[in-house]
Homo-oligomer: A and B are copies of this chain.
C-alpha cells in the first residue's frame, strides 16, 4: 500500500557500492537515511565520515527493529542476499537489492512471492536501466522506431576485479541481461542460451565469457564479458530493420547514436528459399542522429524510483520478476558453461497473478 514520504531508509553494506547508495539516498528528498549497517561498524562509520548525523551500526536486527525504517537498500555479497532480503520483507520493510537478486532462481522466486504476499516493493538496483541512454534505447526499441529487432551485441570488458565468489558471467553479465530485458519489446523473450568461457589465469572461475542468447523472434543477442582486458569497452548495438542503435557508454559526447543505415531485402516474403538468395538486396547509407540526452546520475533515478514505487504502492520498473528473468538467463548460462557451450533452454518466468503493480493498475 502507498505510504507518505519521506521514507525512512537503511543502507546495508559499506563496501564498494554502499557508499554510492548512501550519497544518493542523502540527495533524494523523498528518502530519509537513518542507518548505514555493516558487520564492520568501523567501515560503516568511515563511509559516513566525520560530519554525518546518520548512524552506523553492525546490527541488522537493530535496523529492522527500528520503526523509523520503512525500507532497506542492500549492497552486500550475493550469497547473503536471500537471508537479508527475507528478513527485511518479514519485518515489513521494502527492499532495494543489488544484482543479482540471489545466486539461485528458486530462492529468488521465494523472495518475489514473499514480497507479493506482503504487498511490499522488491526492487533490483539494475542501475544501467536508469541511465538516460538506456531509457532512450528502450523508447527507440519499444516505439517501433528502429523496426524489428535483428541483433543485439553487448561488450563489457575491462581490467576487472576477479571476484572471490562469482565468475565474470555472474559479476558483469547481469548488467547486459537486465538491459536486454528492459529494452526488448513485450513479446520478444530469450529462449536459449549458450555460453563459452575460460579461466586462463587459473582463478578458479571463468574470467572471460561469451553468451549467445536466442530470442523468440529468431534474432540473436550476444554478450562479451571479460575481466582481463586492459582496455575498457562498454558498447551495445541494437540492430533493427529500420534503424540501428549504437550505445557507447564511455563516449560522453555521443553515448547513443541512431544510424539510418542497414541492409534491406526487397520482397523476400513471396519467394522460396532458393529464389530468396537472388532477391534484391539494397543498402541504406543514411544519416546518423545523436539525440540530446540529459546528464544525470543513474543511481539518483534508482532512488527516486524506489521512493516513488513505495509512495505510490506500485511495482518499480526493475521489480523482482525482472530480477527473476535475469536470474533465469544467468542460470541457463551457467549450465551451458558446464555443458561446454551446449544450448540450454531458458525457463520462462510467470507474470504475477497478483502483485503490487496489479493493485495499482500496473506501470509501463
Contacts and interface: CB of A to CB of B under 8 A. Distances in A.
A276 interface: yes
Contacts of A311: none
Contact of A200 (B203, B208, B219, B273): B219
Question: Which 3 A-B pairs rank lowest in CB-CB distance, beginning with the nearest?
Answer: A150-B200, A230-B259, A288-B290
Contacts of A277: 164, 203-205
A139 interface: no
Complex copy number for this chain: 4
A5 interface: no
Contacts of A292: 260-261, 285-288
B51 A276 contact: no
A237 B229 contact: yes
A228 B281 CA distance: 12
A12 interface: no
A283 interface: yes
Interface stretch (A37-45, A179-187, A313-321, A338-346): A338-346
A281 B53 CA distance: 37
Contacts of A151: 198, 200, 208, 226, 228
A261 B201 contact: no
Interface string A193-205: 0101110111111
Interface of A: 26-27, 32-33, 49-54, 148, 150-151, 153, 159, 162, 164, 194, 196-198, 200-205, 207-208, 210, 212, 218-220, 222, 224, 226-232, 237, 239, 241, 244, 246, 253-254, 257, 259-265, 268-269, 273-274, 276-278, 281, 283, 285-292, 340-343
Contacts of A197: 220
Contacts of A264: 201
Dominant secondary structure of chain A at its interface with chain B: strand
Central interface residue in A230, A253, A273, by most chain B CB within 10 Å = A230
Given A159-B283, A203-B265, 7 more contacts: A162-B263, A201-B264, A202-B276, A204-B273, A227-B263, A229-B244, A257-B290
A214 B153 CA distance: 21
15 contacts: A51-B52, A51-B54, A148-B200, A150-B201, A198-B219, A201-B263, A204-B273, A207-B263, A210-B212, A210-B222, A224-B224, A229-B239, A231-B257, A254-B288, A288-B289
A294 to B, nearest CB: 9
Contacts of A261: 159, 230, 292
Contact of A230 (B222, B241, B246, B342): B246
Contacts of A210: 210, 212, 220, 222
Nearest to A25: B51
A25 to B, nearest CB: 9
A202 B262 contact: no
A31 to B, nearest CB: 10
Contact of A153 (B224, B246, B278, B286): B224
Contacts of A33: 51
Nearest to A273: B204
A220 B194 contact: no
Given A262-B228, A292-B285, A343-B340, A220 B196 contact: yes
